[in-house]
């Protein structure tokens, strides 16, 4: 990681003065578009984030915390909020939440919106640009596996590589050897898929990965239909999230295959639908409530002027239901 | 409805002066708990809401709209937000969203939180007390079927009684006569259930209603298991929401009944899971995106100093999938 970059590093890289960098970070209109662009590029390249002290100088705050999520449709964030409430209650911080789309009609990034609301800190449970993070000027804790590179910002995440291993080991221990993975784009899916591939290789089995176009039920169903139509049909599938696992089960039903008799299926996230009687899906749980609570405590440490752990990786667990059976 | 109550009506009913009512509505600490209580009781009893003028006097606003929903777990609100964005983009209002729990760790009602944020208006897509509404002091549009009585506040809702009729008529036209309804607590469920009962009676059929303890999949499964265990088993079930319909299908599977061969099932809300291949649930759609857009336009009318329609009731439609079949 190296040393945390300073405002001087940004100024040097952008070829401007330190005070001009400050003006850009304060969103001043007295900066030319060229110089603004140069500074923001340098901020992004270096992964620069302003110190708490500089943030404090920006004025009074509101005793509130903003939570940025990817999309409200992904129910993973509801227990995250419950965990955050437990942590933040002690110091009476209020919560606001926004997904990437909430103010897209104004071309307004959720981080920019939280900056305007003068929140004291942010839980980043979605993607963001390093430039937007730097301009935010308040402490941030990243929650979950994110593609964004944020040197100096603490991360609390479930160990999703371990989760992919857990799902795969469960299927292998049930006697399956032809185990496929239905994966999708995104940092989280990539970590789960990598865990699957590592566990397969460690057991001397050959990974067989079908990539769906999206993380949706429909896209996974499409990918699974192709997989199940092949001459050598897998006897088990690990899907990188629960809706995708439902897509796999739906595709299996269309081929006349019963789950778990003809095909064992494991999902990921232990979402409410995994527990539905009709579905009864074996799934990997990252315990989002606990992640929220830990991330909230880390943010309080930063808000109190202390240090947070650079990275906390929580172990996931397997929730066994009726979608997996002995080969 | 009668005439809209004024601040003088509130003062008269509470036995205090008009300026004391103002102080209570401004949350002044200079009011005794007894008098505050008397004023808020009068506000609630009369359904009083301050005028836009009074709200304007309360200070500068933020060009933002707050959306209150019941719970983030109910995905119905995601397309509502998309519709609101379409309406609010023209006049560049930003959006904030909160469910009943978001700031429960501070005992902070979402309406109180939005008041503190100085939002310009509120879309109430969840329950609220008339007192909290009155203290809010900005225009409000109620979205959906709510238990709260709010004279003078415009409502935009899907006609859920018509939706209950639609589901029941569909099953009757497929040749079913022994059609049960699995209902649950809440204003929305009550309207859907009332539509079912009205349609049944109009067709000379006997309503048969099982009440689940909650609106959840598990509670509906429990209620359905009892229903399907009776000597005279229904051949079709209308469940008042989609997760509940999944609970019914799960209970049927446990009794060895296949859907739709042995049991036709209709849900409500046309949620993402209704379209899942494995589920393929016939469901009633209230088009939440359109509701959001209409409610947003009504709120803009109020914010512009104009009038809104007192009540807009939108017709729902039936989305047919594979969970229903001819008897």
Nearest to B99 by CA among B77, B121, B132, B130: B77
Q: Name beta bridge partners: A99.
A: A69
B242 touches chain A (CB under 8 A): no
Residues of A in contact with B88 (CB under 8 A): 105
> B108 to chain A: nearest residue by CA?
A94
- Sorting pLDDT into bands at 50, 70 and 90, what band is A57? very low
A255 touches chain B (CB under 8 A): no
Q: What is the pLDDT of residues B210-240, one digit of tens each?
A: 999 999 999 999 999 999 999 999 999 999 9
Q: How far is CA A143 from CA A69, A73, A122, A127, B160, in A?
A: 9, 18, 10, 10, 39
The backbone torsions φ and ψ at residue B67, rounded to the nearest 5 degrees and listed phi first, read -115, 120
- Sorting pLDDT into bands at 50, 70 and 90, what band is A118? confident
B5 touches chain A (CB under 8 A): no
Nearest to B210 by CA among B187, B167, B181, B243: B181
Residues of A in contact with B106 (CB under 8 A): 89, 92, 94
What's the whole-number mean pLDDT along residues A50-61?
A: 45
- Binary contact (A81, B95; C-beta < 8 A): no
The backbone torsions φ and ψ at residue A223, rounded to the nearest 5 degrees and listed phi first, read -65, -40
> What does the pLDDT read at residue A233?
96
Exposed e or buried b per residue across A73-87, where buried means at least 16 C-beta atoms within 10 angstroms of its C-beta: ebbbbbbbbbbbbeb
pLDDT at A323 over 80: yes
A249 touches chain B (CB under 8 A): yes
Residues of B in contact with A250 (CB under 8 A): 276-279
Q: Name beta bridge partners: B317.
A: B285
Provide the ipTM.
Answer: 0.79
- Binary contact (B272, A73; C-beta < 8 A): yes
Task: Name, in order, each residue with C-beta under 8 angstroms of A270's C-beta and a sequence gap of 6 or more.
Answer: A242, A283, A284, A285, A286, A319
Rounded to a whole number, what is the distance in Å from the CA of A105 to chain B's nearest CA? 5
A113 touches chain B (CB under 8 A): yes
Contact predicate A191/A241, CB 8 Å: no
* Greater pLDDT, A234 or A51: A234
- Binary contact (B81, A102; C-beta < 8 A): yes
B278 touches chain A (CB under 8 A): yes
Burial of A4 (0-12, 13-18, 19+ CB in 10 A): middle
- Binary contact (B278, A250; C-beta < 8 A): yes
Contact predicate B128/B262, CB 8 Å: no
> What does the pLDDT read at residue B224?
98
Q: What is the pLDDT of residues A191-212, one digit of tens each?
A: 999 999 999 999 999 999 999 9
Query: Average pLDDT over chain A, rounded to whole?
Result: 90
How far apart, in Å, do the first and last CA atoms of chain B sit? 46
Helix, strand, or coil here: B95?
strand
C-alpha B62/C-alpha A313 separation (Å) is 39
Rounded to a whole number, what is the distance in Å from the CA of A77 to chain B's nearest CA? 9
Residues of A in contact with B97 (CB under 8 A): 72, 97-98, 102
> B75 to chain A: nearest residue by CA?
A73
Helix, strand, or coil here: A34?
helix
DSSP state of B143: E
> What does the pLDDT read at residue A149?
65
Q: At what angle do helices A33-46 and A18-25 cross, to 10 degrees?
A: 90
Q: Which of B75, B96, B253 sits opposite A96 (nearest CB)?
A: B96
> What does the pLDDT read at residue B166?
98
DSSP state of B30: T
Residues 59 to 88 of B: which have CB under 8 A from any A CB? 71-73, 75, 77-78, 81-82, 85-86, 88
Contact predicate B193/B161, CB 8 Å: no
What are the structural domains of chain A? 1-48 (1.10.260.40), 54-158+290-316 (3.40.50.2300), 160-285 (3.40.50.2300)
Contact predicate B316/B286, CB 8 Å: yes
> What does the pLDDT read at residue A270?
95
pLDDT at A36 over 70: yes
- Sorting pLDDT into bands at 50, 70 and 90, what band is A105? very high
> What does the pLDDT read at residue A49?
64
Q: What is the pLDDT of residues B150-174, one digit of tens each?
A: 777 899 999 999 999 999 999 999 9
C-alpha A157/C-alpha A205 separation (Å) is 28
> What does the pLDDT read at residue B269?
95
- Sorting pLDDT into bands at 50, 70 and 90, what band is A2? very low
What's the whole-number mean pLDDT along residues A117-124?
A: 91
> A91 to chain B: nearest residue by CA?
B106
Exposed e or buried b per residue across B232-267, where buried means at least 16 C-beta atoms within 10 angstroms of its C-beta: eebbbbbbbbbbbbbbbbbbbbeeeeebbeebbbbb
Task: Name, in order, each residue with C-beta under 8 angstroms of A238's C-beta and a sequence gap of 6 or more.
Answer: A164, A167, A168, A171, A179, A180, A181, A182, A196, A265, A266, A268
Q: What is the mean pLDDT of each run of 10 residues along chain B (327 residues)?
A: 72 90 74 86 75 42 89 90 96 93 91 86 89 85 82 90 98 98 95 98 98 96 97 97 97 97 97 94 96 97 89 96 97
Residues of B in contact with A82 (CB under 8 A): 101
B279 touches chain A (CB under 8 A): yes
């Amino acid at each position: 990681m190296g040393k945390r970059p300073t405002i001087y590093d940004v100024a040097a890289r952008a070829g401007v003065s330190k005070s001009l960098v400050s003006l850009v970070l304060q969103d001043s209109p007295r900066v030319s578009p060229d110089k603004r662009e140069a500074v923001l590029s340098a901020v992004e390249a270096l992964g620069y984030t302003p110190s708490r002290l500089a943030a404090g100088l920006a004025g009074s705050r509101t005793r509130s915390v903003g939570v940025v999520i990817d999309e409200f449709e992904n129910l993973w964030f509801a227990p995250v909020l419950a965990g955050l409430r437990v942590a933040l209650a002690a110091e009476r911080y209020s919560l606001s939440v926004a997904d990437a789309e909430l103010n897209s009609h104004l071309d307004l990034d959720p981080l920019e919106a939280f900056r305007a609301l003068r929140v004291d800190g942010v839980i980043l449970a979605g993607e963001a640009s390093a430039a937007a993070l730097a301009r935010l000027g308040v402490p941030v804790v990243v929650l979950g596996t994110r593609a964004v590179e944020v040197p100096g910002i603490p991360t609390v995440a479930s160990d999703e590589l371990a989760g992919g291993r857990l799902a795969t080991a469960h299927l292998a221990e049930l006697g399956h050897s032809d185990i496929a993975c239905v994966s999708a784009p995104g940092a989280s899916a990539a970590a789960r898929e990598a865990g699957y591939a590592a566990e397969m290789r460690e057991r001397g089995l050959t990974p067989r990965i079908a990539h769906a176009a999206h993380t949706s039920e429909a896209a996974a169903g499409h990918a699974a239909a192709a997989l199940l139509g092949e001459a050598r049909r897998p006897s088990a599938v690990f899907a990188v999230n629960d809706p995708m696992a439902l897509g796999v089960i739906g595709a299996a039903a269309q081929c006349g295959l019963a789950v778990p008799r003809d095909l064992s299926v494991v999902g990921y996230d232990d979402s409410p639908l995994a527990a539905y009687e009709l579905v009864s899906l074996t799934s990997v749980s990252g315990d989002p409530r606990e992640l929220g609570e830990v991330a909230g405590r880390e943010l309080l440490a930063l808000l109190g002027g202390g240090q947070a752990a650079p990275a906390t990786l929580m172990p996931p667990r397997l929730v066994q239901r009726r979608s997996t059976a002995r080969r």
